[in-house]
């Protein structure tokens, strides 16, 4: 099992094919996410990568502890702690796509509805967790998401 501390974008207004310029008007707020993945099943079948299955089991992708509004995502920093050891500490501004770009790009292919959550991706430092591990995803202005892998 792999942990990935990420920023979650919570959609507040429906959109389809929204421009990057107008994308932020459709964002309600932001939350912390742990994008849990079973990495060893991703390529078990070489002809069909199992991304949905590898990230879609029950209890995967905990979110929280709150949805914060009024934040500038470019100023946020994600810090992920595994069993008391900092494993990730990166600014959202360093991500390949900005929040506005992600909302715009994804809305070109699918409608985004209020309550939908988009994960921004992650940076270096992701790693394995074993049963009994505690993962904390911290983002100032949002809070700390803490979950235990059982």
Q: What percent of the chain has pLDDT over 70?
A: 100
Topology given in CATH for the domain delimited by 2-148: Fumarylacetoacetate hydrolase; domain 2 (3.90.850)
pLDDT digits (tens, 9 = 90+) for 71-124: 999 999 999 999 999 999 999 999 999 999 999 999 999 999 999 999 999 999
Band of pLDDT at residue 10, cut at 50, 70 and 90:
very high
- Its pTM stands at 0.93
Q: What is the average per-residue pLDDT within 40-52?
A: 78
For the chain, give every domain's residue range. 2-148
Instruction: Work out whether the CA dihedral 112, 64, 8, 143 comes out positive or negative.
Output: positive
Contact 118, 18 (CB under 8 A): no
pLDDT digits (tens, 9 = 90+) for 120-141: 999 999 989 999 999 999 999 9
């Amino acid at each position: 099992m792999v942990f990935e501390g990420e920023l979650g974008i919570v959609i507040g207004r429906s959109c389809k094919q929204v421009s990057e310029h107008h994308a932020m008007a459709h964002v309600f707020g932001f939350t912390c996410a742990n994008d849990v993945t079973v990495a060893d099943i991703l390529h078990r079948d070489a002809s069909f990568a199992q991304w949905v299955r590898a990230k879609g089991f029950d209890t995967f992708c905990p979110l929280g502890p709150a949805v914060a509004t009024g934040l500038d995502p470019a100023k946020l920093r994600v810090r992920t702690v595994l069993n008391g050891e900092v494993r990730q500490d990166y600014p959202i501004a360093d991500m390949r796509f900005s929040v506005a770009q992600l909302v715009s790009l994804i809305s070109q292919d699918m409608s985004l509805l209020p309550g939908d959550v988009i994960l921004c991706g992650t940076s270096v430092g992701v790693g394995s967790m074993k049963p009994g591990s505690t993962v904390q995803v911290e983002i100032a202005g949002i809070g700390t998401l803490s979950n235990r892998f059982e």
